[in-house]
A and B are shown apart, each in its own frame.
Chain A
Amino acid sequence: MAEQMRLSKEALSADFARRVEELSGQSPYRCYQCGKCAAGCPFADDMDLLPSQVLRLVQIGDEKVLEARAPWSCASCLACEVRCPRGVDIARVMEAVRLLSLRKGNTPLCTADVATMGLPQIALVGISRKMTP
């Protein structure tokens, strides 16, 4: 049976949701859970939470989302950004969740295989930025 979710006004105004909103510049409350981002995400198969579920946890201020793998599977390709009917830049929300996790001292949930020589500089700079708070 699915875990019961308790919603309350207190949770909806949680500091965490506000911090994500501030950092991403996106209001999570615009999202009405249509799932279009999840349907078109080329990396949804690798995610433990769908992009829409990440948005949902942010809406209810649930910090569990900081331990999710999903934001680390996001490559900021912005397929969701151009398709969201509510104009939410979901990649910015993913970035905010990653940064909040890193800034709490958590280890990034990805590693650069720097032993693999011959990788383009763009790849190395890109992944290093993802892992830097």
Chain B
Amino acid sequence: MNSIAYYPGCGVADQARSMEHTARAVLQALDWEMQELPRWNCCGTVYSLASDDLMRHIGPVRVLTHVQELKLDRLLTLCSMCYSTLRRSERFLNEDRERLERVNAFLDDEPDYRGGVRAVHLLELLRDDIGYSALETRVTRPLEGLKVAPYYGCTLTRPRSVALDDPEHPSVLEDILEVLGAEPVPTAQRVECCGSYMTASDPSVVRRRVTAISEAAAAGGADLMITSCPLCQYNLDARLAEAARTGAPRLPSVYFTQLMALALGLDPALDEQVIDPRPVLAARGLAVEVEA
């Protein structure tokens, strides 16, 4: 059994537990174990874009230091935003020792961060470590006939310095869908922001964005959409359900890990969505038993 240190982050540990549940089960089936860090804190969510506030890198550094203490140099994340914040902070501090020294001085009697711990997104682990052919051998219930629109959002592929795929023409989600037997429906909206945290300040902007995203997916004939971020998922589910009352296509969204679980014959944990994906799955011959 292979193993990798794992950082849940706030979203995954709370409202996106179905993502963790399915990721863990899928990785187990692929002979990989996620070992949750004994201690962790919020990564800060949004990477600081200002050059003068080193304070905002303390959160990510504390998380990375816990990995360093385990004598490991990679950290698995499921959430796209955690992935981005951890990788960018690491790069920012590692490229200038003075910044790192100032952060360490602030951390006082906590262990110094020495640099070099890399956050790895689950999509990278699947593509680069596990490989699509190993995944393919575990597919017991191919998602034949299911049309799925991938939604990448922002932080998996932007900025370019930490992009895990081509920023304008990513393919990792489409590739995984094909391995699972589904038909990918790529749209121009798949890399366009859903409105992110503005869901807390201006929900109408988010409703307009998710309307455009779901319209593009529906126009391509998609049955549902997949996401890799708890915030995108919230916007494409809860906010889209609101937008659907005034005409947006009521297309369900699930985490890509949930579709993987379904194709591997594992529990897809599909009972938390506002827009229930089970009717459309059943219509494609992929009925999911509802647990009592």
* Neighbouring B residues of A119 by C-beta, 8 Å: 199-200, 234
14 extra interface residue pairs, beta carbon distance < 8 Å, beyond A79-B154, A99-B50, A116-B200: A22-B52, A46-B202, A77-B192, A79-B158, A91-B49, A120-B199, A121-B14, A122-B81, A123-B197, A125-B42, A125-B44, A129-B44, A129-B46, A130-B46
* Neighbouring A residues of B11 by C-beta, 8 Å: 120-122
CB pair A121–B10 under 8 Å, yes or no, is yes
Q: Can you offer 27 A-B residue contacts whose CB atoms are under 8 A? A: A22-B51, A43-B195, A76-B46, A78-B158, A81-B160, A82-B157, A82-B158, A82-B168, A96-B49, A110-B202, A113-B201, A116-B200, A118-B238, A119-B199, A120-B199, A120-B230, A121-B15, A121-B42, A122-B45, A122-B79, A122-B81, A122-B197, A123-B196, A124-B200, A127-B201, A130-B46, A130-B197
Across the two chains, which residue of chain A brings its CB closest to B51?
A25
CB pair A42–B231 under 8 Å, yes or no, is no
- A130–B196 CA distance with the chains assembled, in angstroms: 12
Q: Is A56 an interface residue (CB 8 A)?
A: no
CB pair B49–A75 under 8 Å, yes or no, is no
Q: Is A8 an interface residue (CB 8 A)?
A: no
Taking beta carbons and an 8 Å cutoff, which residues of B are in contact with A?
10-11, 14-16, 42, 44-52, 56, 79, 81, 154, 157-160, 167-168, 191-193, 195-203, 205, 209, 230-231, 234, 238
**Which of A42, A76, A122 is B192 in contact with, Cβ under 8 Å?**
A42
- A76–B167 CA distance with the chains assembled, in angstroms: 15
Give the 4 A-B CB pairs with smallest separation, nearest first: A126-B197, A77-B193, A95-B49, A78-B158
* Neighbouring B residues of A81 by C-beta, 8 Å: 158-160
- A129–B47 CA distance with the chains assembled, in angstroms: 9
Q: How far is the CB of B213 from chain A (nearest CB, A)?
A: 10
- A122–B231 CA distance with the chains assembled, in angstroms: 7
Across the two chains, which residue of chain B brings its CB closest to A78?
B158
* Neighbouring A residues of B157 by C-beta, 8 Å: 82
Q: Is A24 an interface residue (CB 8 A)?
A: yes
Across the two chains, which residue of chain B brings its CB closest to A100?
B50
Interface on chain B toward A: helix, strand, loop, or mixed SS? loop
CB pair A42–B199 under 8 Å, yes or no, is no
* Neighbouring A residues of B193 by C-beta, 8 Å: 42-43, 75, 77, 79
Q: How far is the CB of B228 from chain A (nearest CB, A)?
A: 13
CB pair B46–A24 under 8 Å, yes or no, is no
Within 22-36 of A, Cβ neighbours of B (below 8 Å) are at 22-25
Q: How far is the CB of A45 from chain B (nearest CB, A)?
A: 8
* Neighbouring B residues of A77 by C-beta, 8 Å: 154, 158, 192-193, 196
Across the two chains, which residue of chain B brings its CB closest to A125?
B45
Q: How far is the CB of A47 from chain B (nearest CB, A)?
A: 11
Q: How far is the CB of A76 from chain B (nearest CB, A)?
A: 6
* Neighbouring B residues of A127 by C-beta, 8 Å: 197-198, 200-201
CB pair A78–B159 under 8 Å, yes or no, is yes
CB pair A42–B209 under 8 Å, yes or no, is yes
**Which of B160, B191, B200 is A123 in contact with, Cβ under 8 Å?**
B200
* Neighbouring B residues of A124 by C-beta, 8 Å: 197, 200
**Which of A23, A43, A113 is B50 in contact with, Cβ under 8 Å?**
A23
Q: How far is the CB of B57 from chain A (nearest CB, A)?
A: 13
* Neighbouring A residues of B42 by C-beta, 8 Å: 121, 125
* Neighbouring B residues of A92 by C-beta, 8 Å: 49-50
- A73–B197 CA distance with the chains assembled, in angstroms: 11
- A44–B191 CA distance with the chains assembled, in angstroms: 16
CB pair A123–B199 under 8 Å, yes or no, is yes
CB pair B231–A123 under 8 Å, yes or no, is yes
**Which of B79, B192, B203, B231 is A113 in contact with, Cβ under 8 Å?**
B203
> With A78-B159, A110-B202, A129-B46 given, is the CB distance from A122 to B51 under 8 Å?
no
Q: Is A11 an interface residue (CB 8 A)?
A: no
Q: Is A111 an interface residue (CB 8 A)?
A: yes
Across the two chains, which residue of chain B brings its CB closest to A80?
B158
